[in-house]
Amino acid sequence: MRLSLALGAALGLALALALCGYYGFAEIASGLGAAGWGVLAVIAFHPVQMLFSSLAWQVLLPPSPAPRLLTFIALRWIREAVNNLLPVAQIGGEFVGARLLRQGGVPLGAGGASVTVDLTMEMLSQIIFTLLGLALLVPGLHEPRIAPWIIGGIGLAVVIVAAFISAQRFGLFHLVERGLIRLAERGSAWSSLGEIAGLHRSIRALYASPRRLVWACSYHLISWLLGGVEVMLALHLVGASVDLREGLIIESLGQALRAVGFAIPASLGVQEGGYVLVCGLLGISPQAAIELSLLKRIREVALGVPALFVWQLIEARRLVDRVADDVSVPAAADGD
């Protein structure tokens, strides 16, 4: 797995560098330089999207074990940082999120269920967002031959999400839960996995609550729509202003193409190539498209590095507390 991720990252980086070289390092650097302090506006805008993504996650947990919204925002911040900056094929953040929820007092089964269903609702809302972008694009498309490819890709995504939901509802995670519990019974090194009990039941309970699912999907959809505003802002900074319709088209189809490269860490190269393709359909230069992608990556690094640091602080504190507990138990026994 590590070798495949390393190879994927190397190929993606090579593709990104090749695109930048082909369209001109100097021209792209000049465009980014022209953005100046406006880059801070792109960075500052993203927490608004994170707010709605956090609301989507929070609504999937009952009020009693659910932490405050501020906690969900912090955990979403860390989730995105792990997926964007670490070689984890863009899903490691979900495991980290469930683990941190457990440290916040949420049972591992309930936390794991909320993360699983939240990811599913995010995928479903992305399909809706992509359909919206396609609906906005096709009427003015000068190259209609590309439409069947886009529709085919969306159809495949629908099948994948439907299969994922079916697997969740009809027993996949029940098998996972049983396997982890058996592993926990084999020794103390795996004992914490026993806390996963209730994962399948919690997932089924969430799917039995349509109101929560609708709210979660709606909040995620708002977050995706705000991504179109971010595209407008970023392209304006590099001298390629677009309206809201074009911003939504670029973001929806660009993110859909990025999702295709989920196995490549941070979708290196895939994101850049996707924006070049989609922006080209709207008459926007490849240089501006790559500058848009790089502005997004600058934002990911600027927000992600502090998030990874905070995550490590949380893990270090947990380790210190565990060591302190292990030391205090023998000391208490000696006192007796």
Average pLDDT of the chain, as a whole number = 82
Instruction: Using the predicted structure, report yes or no on whether residue 316 has a pLDDT greater than 90.
Output: no
Distances (CA, A) of 117 to 15, 90, 245: 33, 16, 30
63, 230 Cβ separation under 8 angstroms: no
Q: What is the pLDDT of residues 125-147, one digit of tens each?
A: 998 998 899 888 877 665 555 56
pLDDT-derived band at 43 (thresholds 50, 70, 90) equals very high
Identity of the amino acid at 62: P
Residue ranges per structural domain of the chain: 2-335
Tell me which residue of 320, 236, 319 sits closest to 42, measured CA to CA.
236
Which position has the token pair 């999120």?
Answer: 97
Q: How far apart are CA 169 and CA 163, in angstroms?
A: 10
Q: How far apart are CA 321 and CA 156, in angstroms?
A: 47
pLDDT-derived band at 198 (thresholds 50, 70, 90) equals low
Which position has the token pair 């608004």?
Answer: 48
Q: What is the pLDDT of residues 179-190, one digit of tens each?
A: 444 434 444 443
What does the pLDDT average to over 166-187?
A: 53
Tokens of 34: 């022209």
Q: How far apart are CA 304 and CA 285, in angstroms?
A: 28
The CA dihedral of 254, 257, 258, 263, to the nearest 10 degrees, is: 180
Q: How far apart are CA 44 and CA 299, in angstroms?
A: 9
Q: What is the pLDDT of residues 235-247, one digit of tens each?
A: 999 999 899 999 9
What does the pLDDT read at residue 51? Answer: 97
Q: How far apart are CA 41 and CA 22, in angstroms?
A: 29
Higher-pLDDT residue of 207, 195: 207
Instruction: Using the predicted structure, report yes or no on whether residue 289 has a pLDDT greater than 50.
Output: yes
Percent of residues in the chain assigned helix, strand, coil, to nearest 5: 85, 0, 15
Identity of the amino acid at 265: P
Which position has the token pair 């090749």?
Answer: 18
To the nearest whole percent, how much of the chain has pLDDT over 70?
A: 76
Cβ neighbours of residue 308 closer than 8 Å, sequence gap 6 or more: 78, 81, 82, 85, 86
155: left (phi over 0), alpha (psi -120 to 50) or beta: alpha
B/e letters for 246-267, b = 16+ CB within 10 Å, e = fewer, are bbbbbbbbbbbbbbebeebbbb
CB neighbours (10 Å) of residue 222? 18
Give pTM, 2 decimals: 0.85
In which element (H, E) is residue 255 found?
helix 244-260
- Looking at residue 65, what DSSP letter applies? T
Q: How far apart are CA 317 and CA 297, in angstroms?
A: 30
The CA dihedral of 208, 180, 76, 35, to the nearest 10 degrees, is: -120
